[in-house]
Amino acid sequence: MNWQNLQTKLAGKGYIASSELAMATHIALELERPILLEGDAGVGKTQIAKTLADIHNTELIRLQCYEGLDASAAIYEWNYQRQLLSIRAMAERTGDSGNAIDDIETRIFSADYLMERPLLRAIQQKKPPVLLIDEIDRADEEFEAYLLEILSDFQVTIPEMGTITAKSKPIVVLTSNGTRDLSDALRRRCIYNFVPYPDRTTELAILRARCPAVEPALAAQIVSFVQSLRKEDLEKKPGIAETLDWAAALGGLGVNDITVDPVALKSSLVCLLKTEADQAAIPSEVAQRLAGRAG
Amino acid sequence: MAVTRFLTRAGIAERMSDFTRHLRAHGVRAGMPETETSLGALQLVDAGDPNDVRLALKAICASDVESFARFDELFAAYWLNAGKQRHDHTPTQSRSDQKNSLTNLSQKFSAPPADGSGSIDTPDNDNDGEAESSGEGKLIATQVTNRNATDMREFILPEDEARAAETARRIATAIRYRRSRRRKTARQGDGLDMRRIMRKSVATGGEPLHLLRRRRPDRPVHLVSILDVSGSMQLYARVFLSFVKGLVGNDQRTDAFLFHTSLMCVSDALRDNDTLRAVNRLSMMARGFGGGTKIGASLRTFNNQYASRMTGRKTVVIIMSDGYDTGEAHEVGDALARLKRRGCKIIWLNPLLGWKDYAPVAASMAAALPHVDCFAPCNTLASLAAIEGELERL
């Protein structure tokens, strides 16, 4: 398989990838390296992981990062309630003989009592799953360090049990919104791609693929409007997800031409402008001017 | 586009490692592993198609937004330009300037051996000579304005030093620790450490007799102070320098920098126990002391050379400057924005803020303000001491 093939396959599942992204994904898949995607929110970073899982017909395991995320929430945790119960059960069965203690201890720290969290689960699968580590920049630096062992050797060390090596290497997709710079150590282990806002043609293709019900003329208007809206001075620029939402909203409102009904246009803009300041920055007149240019 | 015809014959491995070196010379972090991966990747794509090769190498060698944006240009310069290296490549030009002028400084004034023996490497690209000469020019300009290098001995008086160090110690304790979100085993705490409780209770037949706890520990922060020692700050330099010495002397998780037209790291010099030697080292470093100011360029040097090692979420950067700048104002804003993205807190101490009716209108100061977490006066030791409370809240 070469990268153009992958691009076509992605397109077949409704994901229009730029050639750079397709190449990066191709190399990451072939070399079995994680891929790190950076870019603004709503440009389709998470979606590619879902699409990859779809193409390979495999499970998508998702780890959402947040500040304070630690090993027990991301890798594994012991099932304490079960451990407690079985200690008591075993103690009653064997009586209070001391030589059973070692036995009990090995028993309760075995795989039966281990609760797998996303990262451990990802390396335990028989068929390589897609592991999506979402918004890695939200986790703290110590967590990046945990990740290094998993991402380079695909293994997890549990002090009580030893090292668990991957049964199959998962396809790892990391995403980052760039709120914080990631460490060089992590970057170097990954294939990198910066996902920008799509250009006109790409966005039109995406809209066609995802919302085939939208009329071609309206689709062109929508894309031009959103493209020029991104050039305005906004706090949060609308991503592709927003464009798709807006297209669906316009469809729901029965709008066929965005220049006709200024009231409907203004009210549907809630799909694109997600902060109060942005809504104030694009009053009805500006919206109409942009729509006029788009139409 | 024409594919480069190289003058010498070389194998593909050699060529590729030369390309990685070319990237490195232009500020892209790439090395042996990248070369290896690139060679592997060439087998996966159509190596005869320049576009395929470009896309593949881009995915492997670029590792952040900046290098990603610049990669195409660098690729074209090496592979698609008849073997000529670009001489007019600008983005790293100014950086290599500074590197050179720094090297010049340390070589010219024979910095003490502990100071890295002038090991800051000069970029080995073709514009070396050019950069060298402009570095030289800058140096001459500074020397003319300050024929006599200022002697640091005048700047540290014993009684002030003691007071400044005391203030520094108090401020350092105020910002030393930041509450962490991850829990850790502790004698007392708000959560139970189930893992250890379980181990202990095996011995007691499943009765959890010993309750062990976990809590959110305070984790130490790294302090980085950047002190402006240009002409306009000369009056305050004495107080500040002893303040910085106090901060650095306190413990190892601190770094200090001085800047005027260029930036230098003075942590080691300030940590020197032999005061006389420390002062000698400092005055040797501070040639050009009291000259012009290039805040933006100095902060950029900091970002490029030191920030990746020194700053992270648990870092507080203290900048002491009056904001009067001879460089571009927007550069200051850009540099601070980049620093801020590393997740650290930025404190700007401005001596002029202590003056009546002062408003931060200097262009650089205005550009910096949106990125600063705490903006406070510091014209006297008393006002320095007064910001302690404010820093605790950060």
Kindly state whether A12 is in contact with chain B, defined as any CB-CB distance less than 8 angstroms: no
A-chain residues near B341 (CB < 8 A): 178-181
Alpha carbon of residue A52 to chain centroid: 11
Chain B contact for A141, CB < 8 A?
Answer: yes
Q: Is there a single domain that holds both residue B310 and residue B228?
A: yes
Last residue of a domain, one of B79, B101, B136: B79
Residue A284 Rama label (left phi>0; alpha psi -120 to 50; beta): alpha
CATH of the domain at B165: 3.40.50.410
pLDDT of residue B151: 45
pLDDT of residue A61: 95
Residues near B134 by Cβ (< 8 Å), separated by ≥ 6?
B97
SS in 3 state form for chain A? CCHHHHHHHHHHCCCCCCHHHHHHHHHHHHHCCCEEEECCCCCCHHHHHHHHHHHCCCCEEEEECCCCCCHHHHCEEECHHHHHHHHHHHHHHHCCCCCHHHHHHHHHCCHHHEEECHHHHHHHCCCCCEEEEECHHHCCHHHHHHHHHHHHHCEEEECCCEEEECCCCCEEEEEECCCCCCCHHHHHHCEEEECCCCCHHHHHHHHHHHCCCCCHHHHHHHHHHHHHHHHCCCCCCCCHHHHHHHHHHHHHHCCCCCCCCHHHHHHHHHHCCCCHHHHHHCCHHHHHHHHHHHC
Helices A19-31, A45-55: axis angle to 10 degrees equals 50
Residue B207 and residue B231 in one domain? no
Q: Given this model, what pLDDT does residue B83 score?
A: 46
What share of chain B in percent tops pLDDT 90?
Answer: 4
A102–B contact, CB cutoff 8 A: no
Measured in angstroms, the CA of A268 and the nearest CA of chain B are apart by 33
The verdict on B91 touching A (C-beta cutoff 8 Å) is no
* Same domain? B340 vs B357: yes
For the stretch A152-183, pLDDT in tens is 888 888 888 889 998 889 999 999 987 777 88
A14 pLDDT more than 60: yes
Cβ atoms within 10 A of the Cβ of A184, count? Answer: 13
Q: Is B194 an interface residue toward A (CB < 8 Å)? A: yes
Q: Does one domain contain both B246 and B122?
A: no
pLDDT reading at A256 higher than 60? yes
pLDDT, residue A95, reads 60
Task: Note the pLDDT of residue A100.
Answer: 66
Model confidence at B82: pLDDT above 70: no
Q: pLDDT band at residue A57, thresholds of 50, 70 and 90?
A: very high
Q: How far is A91 from chain B (nearest CA, A)?
A: 6
More confident call, B356 vs A240:
A240
DSSP B300-322: HHIIIIIIHHH-STTEEEEEE--
pLDDT in tens, A106-124: 888 888 899 999 999 999 9
Burial letters A166-181, b for 16+ CB under 10 A, else e? beeebbbbbbbbeebb
Choice between B274 and A192, residue whose per-residue pLDDT is larger? A192
Q: Is B9's Cβ below 8 Å from some Cβ in A?
A: no
Query: Which phi and psi angles does B173 have, rounded to 5°?
Result: -65, -30
- Nearest CA to A60 out of A122, A10, A120 is that of A122
Strand (E) or helix (H) holding B257: strand B254-259
Q: Is B187 domain-assigned? A: yes
At B231, is the pLDDT very low, low, confident or very high (cuts 50, 70, 90)? confident
**Distance between B46 CA and the closest CA of chain A, angstroms:** 9
What per-residue confidence (pLDDT) applies to A171? Answer: 94
Q: Are strands A191-194 and A155-158 parallel, antiparallel or unpaired?
A: unpaired
CB contact under 8 A, B55 and A19: yes
What span, in angstroms and rounded, lies between the C-alpha atoms of A22 and A143? 28
Amino acid at B36: E
Q: Output DSSP code: residue B232.
A: G
A60-69, B4-13, B275-284: least confident range: B275-284
**ipTM surpasses cut 0.95:** no
Find tokens 């002190």 and name the residue.
B227
B230 pLDDT above the threshold of 80: no
Map tokens 């590619």 to a residue.
A48
Contact with chain A for residue B62, Cβ under 8 A: yes
| Nearest neighbour of B65 by CB, restricted to A38, A141, A188 | A38
Query: Residue A148: what pLDDT?
Result: 86
3-class state of residue B52 by DSSP: helix
Range of weakest confidence among A212-221, B60-69, B314-323, B359-368: B359-368
At A98 the pLDDT is 55
| pTM: predicted TM-score of the whole model, two decimal places | 0.69
Same-domain pairing of B167 and B196: no
> CA dihedral defined by B225, B231, B233, B236, rounded to 10 degrees?
100
Q: Do B56 and A27 touch (CB under 8 A)?
A: yes
Return the percentage of chain A with pLDDT > 70, whole number: 97
In chain B, alpha helices (H)? 12-25, 32-42, 50-61, 65-79, 93-108, 128-145, 158-176, 194-203, 234-250, 267-271, 275-285, 295-301, 308-310, 329-341, 363-368, 381-386, 388-393
* A282/B317 Cα distance (integer angstroms): 37
Measured between beta carbons, the chain B residues lying within 8 angstroms of A88 are 205-206
pLDDT for res A225: 92
Confidence grade of residue B354 (pLDDT, cut at 50, 70, 90): low
| pLDDT score of A28 | 93
- Which of B51, B185, B194 would you mutate first to test chain A, the one with the most A CBs within 10 A? B194
pLDDT reported for residue B100: 40
Binned at pLDDT 50, 70 and 90, residue B91 comes out as very low
Task: Closest CB to B341: pick one of A141, A142, A180.
Answer: A180
B17 with B74, same domain: the answer is yes
Both B28 and B168 in one domain: the answer is: no
User: Going by DSSP bridges, is the β-strand pair A155-158/A162-165 parallel, antiparallel, or unpaired?
Assistant: antiparallel
* Mean pLDDT, rounded, for A87-114: 75
More confident residue, A214 or B273: A214
Same domain? For B159 and B274 the reply is yes
Contact between residue A42 and residue A241 where contact means Cβ atoms under 8 Å apart = yes
User: For residues B132 and B241, what is the distance between their CA atoms, to the nearest angstrom?
Assistant: 31
Q: A110 to chain B: which residues are within 8 Å by CB?
A: none
- Do the beta carbons of residue B39 and residue B16 sit within 8 Å? yes
DSSP-based three-state secondary structure for B68: helix
**Tokens (6 digits) for A245:** 């939402």
What string of DSSP letters covers B188-229?
A: S-SEE-HHHHHHHHHHTTT---S--EEE--EEEPEEEEEEE-
Cβ contacts of A159 within 8 Å, gap of 6 or more: none
Contact with chain A for residue B182, Cβ under 8 A: yes
Cβ contact, residue pair B63, A184, below 8 Å: yes
Question: Is B46 domain-assigned?
Answer: yes
Backbone angles phi, psi at A209, to 5 degrees: -70, -40
User: What was the pLDDT predicted at A259?
Assistant: 83
Measured CA distances, B304 to A53, B96, B98, B99, B264 (Å): 38, 11, 11, 11, 13
- Dihedral sign from CA coordinates of A89, A95, A101, A106: negative
C-alpha span between B17 and B27 (Å, rounded): 15
Same domain, B342 and B291: yes
Radius of gyration over alpha carbons of chain B, in Å? Answer: 26
Same domain flag for B256 and B348: yes
Using CB atoms, which residue from A70, A80, A192 is nearest to B59? A192
Residue range B92-146, pLDDT digits in tens: 444 444 344 333 333 333 333 333 333 334 344 444 333 333 333 333 333 333 4
Co-location of B74 and B132 in the same domain = no
- Is residue B252, in this structure, part of any structural domain at all? yes
Instruction: Please tell me if residue B208 touches chain A, with a CB cutoff of 8 Å.
Output: yes
Would you state the pLDDT for residue B113?
38
**A105/B58 Cβ within 8 A:** no
Question: Residue A237: pLDDT above 70?
Answer: yes
B186, part of any domain? yes
Tell me if B302 is assigned to some domain. Answer: yes
Within an 8 Å CB–CB cutoff, is residue B60 touching chain A? yes
Shared-domain flag, residues B275 and B377 = yes
Q: Quick: pLDDT tens for B336-350.
A: 888 888 778 888 888
- Chain A contacts of B69, Cβ < 8 Å? 194
- From A26, A83, A194, residue closest to B65, measured CB to CB: A194
Q: B20 falls in which pLDDT band (50, 70, 90)? A: very high
B48 Cα to chain A: minimum distance (Å): 14
Average per-residue pLDDT for chain B? 71
Contact A179 B341 (CB under 8 A): yes
Q: How many CA atoms lie within 13 A of B281 on its CB side?
A: 22
Q: What is the pLDDT of residues B32-57, one digit of tens each?
A: 889 999 998 888 888 888 888 999 99
pLDDT of residue B158: 63
pLDDT(A262) > 80: yes
Domain boundary among B21, B48, B79: B79
Number of domains within chain B: 4
CB atoms B64 and A142 under 8 Å = no
Of residues B391 and A149, more confidently modeled: A149
Q: Would you mind telling me the total number of residues written for chain B in this entry?
A: 394
Q: How far is CA A180 from CA A8, B342, B375, in A?
A: 33, 5, 22
Count of all residues that appear for chain A in the document? 295
Other CB atoms closer than 10 Å to residue B176's CB: what's the count? 19
Q: Determine phi and psi for B316, rounding to 5 degrees.
A: -120, 125
Taking one residue from A and the other from B, the number of pairs with CB-CB distance under 8 angstroms is 115
Strand partners, A115: A77
Task: Give the mean model confidence (pLDDT) for residues B247-270.
Answer: 79
| Domain that includes residue B55, residue range | 12-79
Q: Which residues pair with B178 in a beta bridge?
A: B219
- Residues in chain B with CB shorter than 8 Å from the CB of A27 are 41, 44-45, 56, 59-60
3-class SS at B256? strand
Q: Decide if B63 is inside a domain.
A: yes
**Phi, psi of B279, rounded to the nearest 5 degrees:** -65, -40
Question: pLDDT (tens digit, 9 = 90+) per residue, B211-224?
Answer: 888 887 777 778 88
Q: Which of B28, B48, B79 is the last residue of a domain?
A: B79
Q: Which residues contact B88 (CB under 8 A, 6 or more apart)?
A: none
Tell me which amino acid residue A256 is.
N
The predicted structure's pLDDT at residue B114:
38
How sure is the predictor about A65, in pLDDT bands with cuts at 50, 70 and 90?
Answer: very high
Q: What's the gap in Å between the CA of B53 and the closest CA on chain A?
A: 10
User: CA B104 from chain center: how many Å?
Assistant: 20
Provide the shortest C-alpha distance from residue A93 to chain B (in Å): 11
Cβ contact, residue pair A178, B205, below 8 Å: no
Cβ of A70 under 8 Å from any chain B Cβ?
yes
Overall average pLDDT of the B333-337 stretch: 88
Contact assessment for residue A37 and residue A195, using Cβ atoms and an 8 Å cutoff: yes
Contact A20 B37 (CB under 8 A): no
**pLDDT by residue (tens digit) across A181-209?**
788 888 888 999 999 999 999 999 999 98
Residue B392 has a pLDDT of 66
Out of A68, A83, A101, the one facing B198 most closely (by C-beta) is A83
